[in-house]
Structure 1
């Protein structure tokens, strides 16, 4: 991703819930999904889904339709296992830590040879590989140590790597049938994936940005501390 994330310096508010640090990308109960009406829409690249009351400069990014969800971080009860579409996208676009929301372009980034830290679930111990597709944003070292100790998903197994570059790949979200405009069943792996420029993008309501990881070096979190 671009280095524009380096200019984000204002500290972000941190929230805790029942002794746990609430991740920046986690949604809160007052951040409800907004009512929508999906319609068939023809654009420059062809036909796909759109909103009946669509505002292209708000609802689309790279001509892909994004899910609408209210923004009220810190209001209500956090859903620690969930992901807020907008904040996930911000974290990916600007290389923000998924937990504290601060830029990962810091002293550690420079110390690691201008590389970002990524931590992901790995129940079977499989490390992050070169060209890996992920929707999980980077993380700073203190938050990584915290997360592997308290996150239920990571307790089942995790892997960590330093990454030179996160290249935009596409989006993950809900796929709509081209004929009926009904949502298609979700795959066992989670959300539907749609690569940049592929037809599936036009029929996917995006909920996550997806990137490919390059210059990947698996590491031991204790060793980089």
Structure 2
């Protein structure tokens, strides 16, 4: 896909995956799937409601309309960025010149306490970032200014989704108290997957090498 136009707000680029105020998720009526093995929308007709059999949250696509929520994540655009390895900020492919310079690796930049590196096999719902956007993000993003870590990753592999689990008996959403955004990570092999309303794609990071962004800016090919 071609990268969409860049949108700025208060002098900074608005991340591609950030939702806007007119993109409030639509709350559909959750019912038991026809065969009883999972959840469905009562008015589910559009194939866009599902991906690989998993039900996804509905959200309008009105990028640039209203005000950006820089701390939020738009479900569809996050999924596009993760599926195609697009930069979460500018939406350009991370299969770029830097990818080749880094020996066929993607740059992942995530919020972390100081000194906490990305672990081998770690799961994340944060899409990759290109080199220029990573440099801007650590200056512009309030969350990253609190602490971040970066790694070059050889193999970001599909792992599952992050979403809201529904109780198979009551069809009520189940709390996820240990997560910052209230979402539960569910593996594709997990029997709870049919009872999950997905909101993020999740990958597992394999072949991780922790990096210093200053070294990357200096075009260090020995990382």
What is the TM-score when the length of structure 2 is the normalising length? Answer: 0.93
- Are residue 193 (structure 1) and residue 185 (structure 2) matched? yes
When the two chains are superposed, the root-mean-square deviation of aligned CA atoms in Å is 1.2
**Unaligned ranges ≥5, structure 1:** 1-7
Which residue, out of 107, 111, 120, partners 1:121?
111
Aligned residue number for residue 166 of structure 2 = 176
Q: Deviations over 1:171-218 (max 9, x none)?
A: 001111111111111222231111102111111100000000011111
* Distance in 1 separating the partners of 2:61 and 2:5: 14
* Distance in 2 separating the partners of 1:128 and 1:25: 21
* Distance in 1 separating the partners of 2:28 and 2:61: 16
* Distance in 1 separating the partners of 2:200 and 2:121: 18
**Unaligned ranges ≥5, structure 2:** 218-223
Q: Any residues of structure 2 matched to 1:1-225 within 5 Å, and which?
A: 8=1, 10-43=2-35, 47-55=37-45, 57-190=47-180, 191-225=183-217
8 Å Cα contact 2:3-2:90 kept in structure 1 = no
**Shift in Å, 1:42:** 4.0
Count of matched residue positions in the alignment of Structure 1 and Structure 2: 215
Query: After the TM superposition, which segments of 4 or more aligned residues of structure 1 sit over 3 Å from their partners?
Result: none
What is the TM-score when the length of structure 1 is the normalising length? Answer: 0.92
